[in-house]
Amino acid sequence: MHRLVVFVVPVFALLMACEFAWGWLKRRNTYRFNDTLGSLSQGLLSQALAVCTQLFQIGLYAMVYPLVAIWTRPSFWDSAMGWIVAVLLFDFFDYWLHRAGHESAVFWAAHSVHHQSQHFNFSTALRQESTVAFLGWAFYLPMAVVGVPPEQFGLAGLIVLVYQFWIHTEHIGKLGWFDRVFSSPSNHRVHHAVNDGYVDRNYGGMLVVWDRMFGTFAEETERCVYGTRKALSSFDPMRAILGPYAPLLRDAWHTKRWRDKIAVWFKSPGWRPADVAARFPEPAFSLEEAMHIHDPALTRPQVASAALHFACWVGVTLAFLWRADDLAFQIGLMLLVLAVGGFWSIGAVLDSRLRLRWAWCAQAALLAISAVLLFT
């Protein structure tokens, strides 16, 4: 499965280049250097983490499957109809996981990584979450009960995920009848927007009919403003991944009622206990402020350092994914930690929080150790 990702990456890179070229020709560029590196760093880290968390990715599903599967006929699941059913089932349960990712605070803390970019392009599609798998695996267990084999479950998920790549763009307008049935660029722009009428809408991965059925559909009628209502304002991948949990921990610590200490994690994002809200008030959301793009100026040496080191870590991560099945778990875990350090260093340079001399030293050490682990 990991090698499939390696084969898909060049295709994604080519499509991003095409989208960038089209935007440049139309004088409507939707890419920024620092934002793109931040999004792609998240995608690569999520894939590296997936190597070390197979138990949650597919392992628990495979363990439960032989105990609960009802309809296990290979003649059906190997047929075209079986594949269609498997993909539809995955898309249906993914709708509910996605919805939980917006309507429950702890799930939103995990999922918000995907929404933090203030731009909407193909690189945003690759800005994948790293911690959702720890929470979301149970949503798909009904597929095991139905009888979808583990390998087919994994491939159905990959199909649904890859489909969503092309709908992350501003360069494709409305598509008529297609928008009424499938998830499309117009529908997904609404999903990523922070406008009042767009928040918590259009969860469908492949099909938007789920949203029409369960009352979460909204049509694109005004300009979309992207990002999260609490702006990240950083390109540090660890701040992006762990930062959303900090307010939950803080509010749970400070509230006095034990019921509220638990409710903080499971009520809707933004809900706060009354005593904490009174003691630590937060400013109201402003759409005008959300329109301000976080785009700090970078020097040429900073750009060169970030670009070169990012290219190196792309190579390391793809080599890691290619060899994932042959590496001991301890080696994989060490490579993951090294990748976290490498991408953190890139983010720190983009945030101007790390001097270039220290960044070069750190990257040289991290890359050298990674090469030794991968090729010896």
Kindly report, residue by residue over 297-356, the tens digit of the pLDDT.
Answer: 999 999 999 999 999 999 999 999 999 999 999 999 999 999 999 999 999 999 999 999
State yes or no: pLDDT of 263 exceeds 80. Answer: yes
Q: What's the whole-number mean pLDDT along residues 88-104?
A: 98
Q: What is the pLDDT of residues 288-314, one digit of tens each?
A: 999 999 999 999 999 999 999 999 999
Going by pLDDT thresholds of 50, 70 and 90, the confidence category of residue 105 is very high
Q: What is the pLDDT of residue 54?
A: 82
Q: Which residues contact 45 (CB under 8 A, 6 or more apart)?
A: 130, 237, 241, 339, 340, 343
Distances (CA, A) of 149 to 71, 77, 79, 158, 312: 10, 8, 13, 14, 37
Work out the average pLDDT over 263-278. 96
Average confidence score pLDDT of the chain:
96
The beta-strand segments (E) located in the chain are none
Confidence class for position 21, pLDDT limits 50, 70, 90: very high
Say if residue 1's pLDDT is above 80.
no
d(CA 219, CA 14): 30
Query: Would you state the pLDDT for residue 89?
Result: 98
Domain boundaries, the chain: 2-214, 300-375
- pLDDT band at 41, cuts 50/70/90? very high
Band of the pLDDT at 53, cuts 50, 70, 90?
Answer: confident
Predicted local distance difference test score (pLDDT) of residue 287: 95
**What is the pLDDT, as a whole number, of residue 130?**
87
> For 162-193, what is each residue's pLDDT tens digit?
999 999 999 999 999 999 999 999 999 999 99
Q: What's residue 209's pLDDT?
A: 98
Residue 55 clears pLDDT 80, i.e. is over it: no
CA atoms within 13 A on the CB side of 376: 6
The whole-number average pLDDT for the span 198-206 is: 97
What is the mean predicted confidence (pLDDT) over 258-285? 95
pLDDT for res 107: 97
- Single pTM value for the model: 0.94
| Inter-residue contact 201 to 158 (CB < 8 Å) | no
- What is the per-residue pLDDT for 74? 93
Contact indicator for 264, 251 with CB cutoff of 8 Å: yes
